[in-house]
Structure 1
Amino acid sequence: MNTQTDAFLKDQPATPVDVAQWAEVGQSHPHESAALHVLGEATYTDDIPEAQGTLHAALGLSQKAHARVRAINLDAVRAATGVVAVYVASDIPGTNDCGPIIHDDPILADGLVQYVGQPIFVVVADSHDNARRAVRKVVVDYEELPAILTPQAAHAARSYVLPPMHLARGDVESAFAIAAHKLSGELLVGGQEQFYLEGQISYAIPKEGNGMLVQCSTQHPSEMQHVVAHALGLHAHNVVVECRRMGGGFGGKESQSALWAAVAAISAQKLKRPVKLRADRDDDMMVTGKRHCFHYEYEVGYDNDGRIVGARVQMVSRAGYSADLSAPVATRAVCHFDNAYYLSDVDIRAMCGKTNTQSNTAFRGFGGPQGAIAIEYILDEIARNLGRDGLDIRRINFYGRNESEGRNVTQYGQIVVDNIIHELVDELEVSSAYRQRRAEINAYNASSLVLKKGLALTPVKFGIAFNVTHLNQAGALVHVYTDGSVLVNHGGTEMGQGVNTKVAQVVAHELGIPLALVRVTATDTSKIANTSATAASTGADLNGKAAQNAANKIRQRLAEFFVTLFGGDNSADITAVTFAAGMIQMGEYSISFPDLVQKAYMARVQLWSDGFYATPGLYWDSKTMTGHPFSYFAYGASVSEVVIDTLTGEWKLLRADALYDAGASLNPALDIGQVEGAFIQGMGWLTTEELWWNKDGKLMTHAPSTYKIPAISDCPQDFRVSLFKNRNVEDSIHRSKAVGEPPLLLPFSVFFAIRDAIASVADHRYNPPLNAPATSEAILQAITAVEAMAAG
């Protein structure tokens, strides 16, 4: 043993560290940018200091839903104050396309416009306002063509952006033949505007040697890199895309940020000057896609107990004028039609209707909510038909508790190995006093003529992973500096959900250091290449694992070096080295992390590493629609109590109880915040957020003045959110579970509580025909329909 080293190590602080108790994961740390948000110091794309000579762009939009452009006069636009250049499709140096999967989505329309709001040309001027004023001076001669505006019309015309999908299991016809009861019907569930606080924006800065830096508010920097490179006719290595943070994304900045990135970059390349394209809120909502609305036709057979024996459903979505991400949205809807229920015999068809409206895109849940709400609507009807409580009918149809029950295989063939929905719902039923409140509400309704209350408990089972297997991968870089501080870069993007905080916690935990020593930098395609989008609730799962892998490599090097300091030389010694609370120790020897790092540097030990992760065990056959598309399932349930005014259709959420399965949560505070936000956002989708196009195909709800998102006054005064105590059975990052998308399904209970209140008008004897969103008008219509049923 080196006596000098031995003396040094023995002189270090020897306060014992309880390694078993110390942790940086599982702690409720604040969001890494929380203080910056509050102080107004967080830098978003529009806050980046503008380089000298920066110009501003604006888009000229189609005023027709479907038309050929016979002629376009841009003379007045070019002559407008401050205008530097005007570009049309023929000016694009590379490929005129920004479609993420199918190349059917032009950056600028070239002779054919397919929705009101489609970009036709771009104006570049010396100011944002001058650019926007100039685009209005255009004169366009249109030859109008017939327009398809609804999914029903698209289906009737066999107008689809993709071939129809079909998943079948068992023999539905035989199941119907033996069913004691059958029901059929239809349902329309509307779309939803993402309404991120920060609109679409890109800032393109030309660099030497045909280089282009694009600062972009995007969930998918690598996709933006590809689109910009193709539009400019360059290789990907010429383009760097960077995103420090977004002011919200919700899926709307996964593929549809491409248009804005491409237009800014094209303009910047042609003018050799920086160009910023920032969307006005009205333009943003007119141009960009939303959550797909769905129209359903269903037929179900069930027994006397309410157990479904066969189900057939046809789902037609409003895809818009191009494919965008409609295929994976439809696939996930098909895979989530079961929600938490075992369906032995099913026939599920999904069509993506081609309409002359905005090309719809990803939105939190990505088709999962649209698939699951259909089965919940069906079960709600079965319960009322049998005169049973909805919770009892849902329980009967749950997936089995274990494999021995034989009810644990999904309609697409994946075995449900971690079903906790029974235990979770049991806990929520008790904690929410569901049965007692049901009795109280029945008594209230019996004596209240105008105001009626409703109650509902709905469950959630949500698959986690991209349903395109190759996207389930991530990379990360971890740098340890000689003062012991750590810098992390990964492929995920921060849109307020806290992925950077969680990844920093993972790295801090792996290296045994306080979270304050770890910093996460902007997502950057020149650091982590070929990243997947931050979507499908995989941000922390994938990037946390990749960062853990990188940090672990450094930890192993430091452990080996630590052993050499006191003369050890075998792997057993290395495994005995612990990293916790900023100290590295083994037996009687200990040293602080910064001191060990400094010594390791002097000994030429590599103090940085890359990391990579690919989710194992996933596969999917898109032709048969079978496989193992999900790494695991996240579960949850909620209870909602509402009151409605039967004279006006007004309603209020009085209380909401939500219990969510985040596994072994990486950060309970962030996860509870995500559940709360998702609940309110999902509630808005199902109740107030109505998208409306006029007969000419113009979106009329294209601003905060005409589109109603939930406000603080819409939140229930009594809002109880808890995390279910659980550990993921799969080897996810620290056995946690995703919390981005699944909680958006929790407010199904709000919709069905409203339906329950409406049904009470006629003593729950009839099923109210209630579509979503359940606006006050829709509620009044449903009440009128129920009253008519009761009268006649």
Structure 2
Amino acid sequence: MSSQTEQTKHVTSPTSASASASASASASASASASIDKSAPAPKGISTPHESATLHVAGEATYIDDIPELAGTLYAALGLSERAHADISNIDLSEVEAFPGVVAVIQAADIPGDNQCGPIIKDDPILADGTVQYVGQPIFIVVADSIDIARKASRKANIDYQDLTANITTADARAADEKVIPPMHLSRGEAAQALENAPHRLSASFSVGGQDHFYLEGQISYALPTEDGGIYLHCSTQHPTEMQHLVSHALNIPDNQVTVEIRRMGGGFGGKESQSALFACAASIAAHKLNRPVKLRLDRDDDMMITGKRHGFDYHYEVGFDDYGKLLAFKLDMTLQAGFSADLSGPVAARAITHSDNAYYLEHTDIAAYCARTNTQSNTAFRGFGGPQGIIAIEHAIDSVARQLGREPADIRAANFYGTPDSDPTIRTTPYGQVIVDNVMPSLFDDILKSSDYAARRAAIREFNQSSPVLKRGIAATPVKFGISFNVPHFNQAGALVHIYTDGSVLVNHGGTEMGQGLHSKIERAVADELGIHIKHVRSTATNTSKVPNTSATAASSGTDLNGKAAQDAARQIRQKITAFLAERDGVTVDSIHFADDTVTSSEANYRFPDIIRQAYEARVQLWSDGFYSTPKIHWDASTLTGSPFYYFAYGAAVSEVIIDTLTGEMKLLQADILHDVGNSINPAIDRGQIEGAYIQGVGWLTSEELCWNEQGKLTTHAPSTYKIPAVNDYPTKFHVELFNNQNVEDSIRRSKAVGEPPLVLGMSAFFAIRDAIGNAGSDAADKTEGLARQPELNAPATPENILRAVWEFT
């Protein structure tokens, strides 16, 4: 593996197209000054993903690749055909008689708790008497092969008595159907500020959900153990939660359930809580039959059963002055929760705490309503409500700019939070957290300059004047994203580090690898702590019998939490070796250093493996556990106030698009991104995460459309009907740079999370489309009673939605 150092790049701070941004750029430099530069973190090194070779060679072991034990059986699920109904009769005799079927399991056969909800117990493993969405599992078929199980599952004869089904959020809200009580956060006097504002506007729009579309579907392989327990291989982001829920379903203690996961073929939040149903179903069958059972969904069933990103409906009012300064913002959000609570509460809370994005809002009123619909129970998705909260304020600012006939980038810059040397009042979020390291003004100026934003804006204007059918648009959008779990006690992690007598190192931690490079970064942290090459460090599978009580690998906190825990474990071992060597050689502790696979003291140099052997022979402990809990955070869920985030990650993107006003087709022409990952641990992996997140964000807002028919059936349940971005959707020009910045907080190597924040940058493409649609109208048609007309575009901006918006606007 290459060890070539690759430093992050920082474009020289420019004079932007935005005068407002330029005016505040110099002030943001003090953010860096607040960082302790006396001991800067080492620069990141770009090394390949720890499993890259295995991925390319097809040798990486996923759950379905694990060699099956003798006697393994296969499970499939029998699904509801109604959105909301009572089951009046169920006849499974044909299922049971199907050749090769070993057992059929219903809710009554579950020995323990028939629940897999992560917070509220309103999510049954198997429907019992009532079904609440099309695709809800009713029974489990266990057979000699997966094909037999799936064919047999379709032989059930079930009679339903239909009940009222709310498919849309509008229907659910009209019926006051909600999964949790509504949430509300306010600061100042929004109503009065709106009344007094020189200008005001209101708008309603909607943003659809998104399927996770991980490459590896939901899968669990449950092995009964000799003591009546379960050893579960599960594609999950949350092994500990799977352990708890399986133990409850089987009515056995947690210590009789072990969950292991080496890697996932993608997760994106869809395997945080939603893997529970499949983990429990496979374990119930294995426990009942005392034989190994594998449950692997095909793509159609996966999409039919599992929840998605929450779709949102918005209505907002915004008051502002002649210069576009926001004076008041009132926002009402309705989430499509699905039939159960799942993680809708935390998702709504994060949407509320991100509805300010990068902007100071003195008077604000934010409400969120989690509507109960008879559809799949929506769940965590990369960003976890943050993107849905952010897009509302971005829509409002985009509309304010159009109303005033001003450059949207100027309006954005005019409303940024204050920089660290400014009054704390204009650095305080609506939920009460003071921002200590705002680098957004400088970062935003940089991306406007490096992307040639002003020149391209002028070129687009000239192009559109001579092009009656094809129209171009451009937009620059920022992101300020809070990093930590909404629930404070989830912000903890443990790890184990072992050094063997040959000097090789094994690390185990509570995070899960889903392709994002978590193991690679933690291996780097351990290697640096011990002063050895990363090739000597290996990560092993996440296992609940090694590190207990783990938090989900989510909230972009996997590296922050587990990296710090692993670093703590490695440091303890290094300190023990240092103390041994100092006493033996009669040197001071301060004279001993670990670097370049060598341990150096004032008296001698030792190869790392040699000193490890000597320490072992002197009976020095060469393994240790490590622990980390995130400091400073606190949160009052009842008032939605506190400091829920350890720090913020910042970024900005400029996207340019072209649309066909006759067909609604759109092409992404260019994307320029400048993103703050702090002191990058591995720049290559971070760049890959930024690129992937951006494209996934573009997919969410442009092509990935979820549709349900009137009967409540998801009709976009396969690649043939659900369009994720493909290679041709990638922009022709794609420039990604890392902002030169160290985390002001003591994160692992002063890095910042990179999993979720860059997804928000994809919305620059959505607002570029909105800009292109706005450019399709004539100046005369753009004004109604002195007010600028706004393109009415909902997301995803599919060709149909773009064409509809063009026709309505022109």
Q: Same fold (TM over 0.5)?
A: yes
* Superposed counterparts of 1:296-375, under 5 Å: 296-375=314-393
For 1:449, give the aligned amino acid.
Answer: P
2:12 — aligned with what?
Answer: none
1:781 — aligned with what?
Answer: 804
The answer for unaligned runs of 5 or more in structure 1 is: 1-19, 788-792
Q: Are the equivalent residues in 2 in contact too, given 1:204–1:213 (CA < 8 A)?
A: yes
Q: Secondary structure of the equivalent of 2:422?
A: helix
Q: Are the equivalent residues in 1 in contact too, given 2:677–2:738 (CA < 8 A)?
A: yes
Q: Are the equivalent residues in 2 in contact too, given 1:313–1:349 (CA < 8 A)?
A: yes
1:561 — aligned with what?
Answer: 580
Q: Are the equivalent residues in 1 in contact too, given 2:41–2:749 (CA < 8 A)?
A: no
Pick one of 423, 426, 429 that aligns with 2:445. 426
Pick one of 465, 488, 491 that aligns with 2:507. 488
Q: Are the equivalent residues in 1 in contact too, given 2:42–2:749 (CA < 8 A)?
A: no
1:537 — aligned with what?
Answer: 556
The answer as to 2:566 corresponding to 1:547 is: yes
**CA displacement at 1:587 relative to structure 2:** 2.7
Pick one of 85, 91, 98 that aligns with 2:109. 91
Q: 1:368 to 1:205 in 2, by over 3 A?
A: same
Pick one of 182, 191, 203 that aligns with 1:164. 182
| Separation in 1, partners of 2:433, 2:341 | 27
| Separation in 2, partners of 1:39, 1:687 | 33
Pick one of 184, 190, 196 that aligns with 1:178. 196
Q: Could you give the per-residue CA deviations for residues 452-494 of structure 1, whole angstroms, max 9, x where no partner exists?
A: 0000000000000001000000000000000000000000000
1:211 — aligned with what?
Answer: 229
**CA displacement at 1:316 relative to structure 2:** 0.5
2:634 — aligned with what?
Answer: 619
| Separation in 2, partners of 1:562, 1:236 | 42
| Separation in 2, partners of 1:25, 1:228 | 43
Q: Are the equivalent residues in 2 in contact too, given 1:24–1:506 (CA < 8 A)?
A: no
Q: Could you give the per-residue CA deviations for residues 251-297 of structure 1, whole angstroms, max 9, x where no partner exists?
A: 00000000000000000000000000000100000000000000011
Pick one of 633, 637, 644 that aligns with 1:629. 644
| Separation in 1, partners of 2:527, 2:40 | 11
**CA displacement at 1:24 relative to structure 2:** 7.9
2:680 — aligned with what?
Answer: 665
Q: Are the equivalent residues in 2 in contact too, given 1:559–1:574 (CA < 8 A)?
A: yes
Pick one of 389, 411, 414 that aligns with 1:393. 411
| Separation in 1, partners of 2:171, 2:794 | 18
| Separation in 2, partners of 1:329, 1:747 | 19
**CA displacement at 1:187 relative to structure 2:** 1.1
Pick one of 729, 733, 747 that aligns with 1:732. 747
1:714 — aligned with what?
Answer: 729
The answer as to 2:661 corresponding to 1:646 is: yes
The answer for unaligned runs of 5 or more in structure 2 is: 1-37, 783-788
Q: Are the equivalent residues in 1 in contact too, given 2:262–2:542 (CA < 8 A)?
A: yes
For 2:767, give the aligned amino acid.
Answer: F
Q: Are the equivalent residues in 2 in contact too, given 1:24–1:514 (CA < 8 A)?
A: no
**CA displacement at 1:25 relative to structure 2:** 6.4
| Separation in 1, partners of 2:134, 2:384 | 24
2:525 — aligned with what?
Answer: 506
Q: Which runs of 4+ in 1 moved over 4 A?
A: 20-25
Pick one of 553, 578, 595 that aligns with 2:593. 578
**CA displacement at 1:690 relative to structure 2:** 0.2
Q: Are the equivalent residues in 1 in contact too, given 2:216–2:264 (CA < 8 A)?
A: yes
**CA displacement at 1:403 relative to structure 2:** 4.7
**CA displacement at 1:763 relative to structure 2:** 4.4
For 2:537, give the aligned amino acid.
Answer: V
| Separation in 1, partners of 2:229, 2:421 | 57
Q: Could you give the per-residue CA deviations for residues 716-766 of structure 1, whole angstroms, max 9, x where no partner exists?
A: 110001100000001111100000000000011100000000000114733
2:278 — aligned with what?
Answer: 260
2:139 — aligned with what?
Answer: 121
1:221 — aligned with what?
Answer: 239
Pick one of 508, 516, 523 that aligns with 2:542. 523
The answer as to 2:262 corresponding to 1:244 is: yes
The answer as to 2:787 corresponding to 1:772 is: no
1:467 — aligned with what?
Answer: 486
Q: Secondary structure of the equivalent of 1:404?
A: coil
Q: 1:151 to 1:365 in 2, by over 3 A?
A: same
| Separation in 1, partners of 2:405, 2:42 | 51
| Separation in 1, partners of 2:700, 2:763 | 10
Give TM-score, length-normalised by structure 2: 0.93
Q: Secondary structure of the equivalent of 1:98?
A: coil
Aligned-residue Cα RMSD (Å) equals 1.2
Q: Secondary structure of the equivalent of 1:725?
A: coil
For 2:286, give the aligned amino acid.
Answer: A
| Separation in 1, partners of 2:252, 2:299 | 31
Q: Are the equivalent residues in 2 in contact too, given 1:22–1:581 (CA < 8 A)?
A: no
Q: 1:24 to 1:221 in 2, by over 3 A?
A: farther
Pick one of 134, 150, 155 that aligns with 2:173. 155
| Separation in 1, partners of 2:590, 2:362 | 49
Q: How many residues align?
A: 764
| Separation in 2, partners of 1:763, 1:630 | 45
Q: Secondary structure of the equivalent of 1:215?
A: strand
Q: 1:470 to 1:437 in 2, by over 3 A?
A: same
Q: Are the equivalent residues in 2 in contact too, given 1:162–1:323 (CA < 8 A)?
A: yes
**CA displacement at 1:588 relative to structure 2:** 4.5
Give TM-score, length-normalised by structure 1: 0.96
Q: Are the equivalent residues in 2 in contact too, given 1:183–1:301 (CA < 8 A)?
A: yes
**CA displacement at 1:23 relative to structure 2:** 9.1
| Separation in 2, partners of 1:95, 1:566 | 61
**CA displacement at 1:565 relative to structure 2:** 2.9
Q: Secondary structure of the equivalent of 1:762?
A: coil
2:464 — aligned with what?
Answer: 445
* Superposed counterparts of 1:269-288, under 5 Å: 269-288=287-306
The answer as to 2:128 corresponding to 1:110 is: yes
For 1:771, give the aligned amino acid.
Answer: N
Q: Secondary structure of the equivalent of 2:776?
A: helix
| Separation in 2, partners of 1:477, 1:304 | 59
Q: Are the equivalent residues in 1 in contact too, given 2:702–2:795 (CA < 8 A)?
A: yes
Q: Secondary structure of the equivalent of 2:323?
A: coil
| Separation in 1, partners of 2:143, 2:610 | 55
Q: Are the equivalent residues in 2 in contact too, given 1:24–1:508 (CA < 8 A)?
A: no
For 2:591, give the aligned amino acid.
Answer: A
Q: Could you give the per-residue CA deviations for residues 493-533 of structure 1, whole angstroms, max 9, x where no partner exists?
A: 00000000000000000000000100000000000000000
Q: Are the equivalent residues in 1 in contact too, given 2:304–2:714 (CA < 8 A)?
A: yes
For 1:435, give the aligned amino acid.
Answer: A
